[in-house]
Amino acid sequence: MPDPIILGTIGLDDVKTPFGEVKSALGGSSVYSSIAASFFSEPGIIAPAGQDLPKDYEDFLKSRGISLKGVVKKGKNFRWQGYYEYDMNEAKTINTELNSLADFDPKIPEEYKKAKFVFLANIDPEIQIKVLKQVEDPKFVMIDSMNFWIEIKREKLLEAMSKADAILLNEGEARMLFKTPSLVKAGRQMLDLGVRYAIIKKGEHGSLLFSDNSYFSAPGYPLEDVVDPTGAGDSFAGAIIGYLSKTQDISEKNMRKAIVYGSTIASFNAEGFSVNNLKTLTMQKIEKRFEEFRDLGDF
């Protein structure tokens, strides 16, 4: 039985950065996060895909022990074209083709319904709610989103978020959703939606974890060159849900560790284009960098 299950997109991405470019590369929120999760557990993907999704992309995901039973293939695949300039923190979109994403109406496979750990990656909040309804008795649900949904479906998004145990947003989105420049206030307001954890991703500045009685600040890993930041947020999230599913421990203490594993895998991801760097990543490298994180903040 796959656990965690991950709802999101499968993408074919054209990406250009100051370090080079790739075309029709494997991407999408469910892809990055399930690969990251697969270092700890056996995730299952819920996502629309196109008939044109290359077979070797599917084979690679299967080779990582990822279930594709929840992938619905129809028509052409979702495509994203984007680039990064001088400031690698911000992706610029050239073009988005929704294709198979446009009318995705998820029916999750029987064997996914008993999953205990669920990650609702960035996608229409109505789809996030629909998927969550089909999971029988989830133990821990984490939800992500983006500025697009905050703008056009704010109320639906808040409804979806209030059904989760953890909300994940990047700093710009958190400020935007709660109309405040203060990340501390935004974090508290995320908690006020009734969730146990609020996580704010800050790119090179690391991340913040808020819970009722505590506050945790994880540093960013000091990368001299970010080759391609695409998917860093999703691999961060995937590692978190994968590690929680593996350890079956959602305490605040274990959540801190999960977040550092998330930062670790996200930093490797950003050192290569598409999912390339995750292909050769090993648990040994992950554990080594995880330990480096301890020294980064030690005083």
Per CB under 8 A, residues contacting a second copy are: 86-89, 181-185, 188, 202, 204-206, 208, 214-220, 222-226, 253, 256-257, 259-260, 293-299
DSSP state of 99: G
Helical axes 183-191 vs 171-178, angle rounded to 10°:
70
State the minimum distance, in angstroms, from the CB of residue 271 to a second copy.
Answer: 13
Find the farthest-apart pair of alpha carbons in the chain and give their distance in angstroms, rounded.
Answer: 55
Q: Which is nearer to a second copy, 127 or 227 (CB)?
A: 227
Q: Which is nearer to a second copy, 17 or 235 (CB)?
A: 17
State the minimum distance, in angstroms, from the CB of residue 187 to a second copy.
Answer: 8
State the minimum distance, in angstroms, from the CB of residue 118 to a second copy.
Answer: 24
CA 256 → CA 81, 172, 211, distances in Å? 34, 22, 11
| 113 touches 134 (CB < 8 A) | yes
Q: Which is nearer to a second copy, 78 or 293 (CB)?
A: 293
State the minimum distance, in angstroms, from the CB of residue 220 to a second copy.
Answer: 7
Backbone φ, ψ for residue 36 (5° rounding): -60, -45
State the minimum distance, in angstroms, from the CB of residue 298 to a second copy.
Answer: 7
| 5 touches 70 (CB < 8 A) | yes
State the minimum distance, in angstroms, from the CB of residue 199 to a second copy.
Answer: 14
Q: Which is nearer to a second copy, 134 or 217 (CB)?
A: 217
> Which of 130, 78, 142, 135 is CA-nearest to residue 111?
135
Is 137 exposed, middle or buried (CB count within 10 Å of its CB: 0-12, 13-18, 19+)? Answer: exposed
User: How many CB atoms lie under 10 A from the CB of residue 205?
Assistant: 14
Q: Which is nearer to a second copy, 10 or 226 (CB)?
A: 226
Q: Which is nearer to a second copy, 167 or 259 (CB)?
A: 259
Q: Which is nearer to a second copy, 267 or 277 (CB)?
A: 267
State the minimum distance, in angstroms, from the CB of residue 16 to a second copy.
Answer: 16
User: What is the residue-wise DSSP string for 35-55?
Assistant: HHHTTTSB-EEEEEE-TTS-H
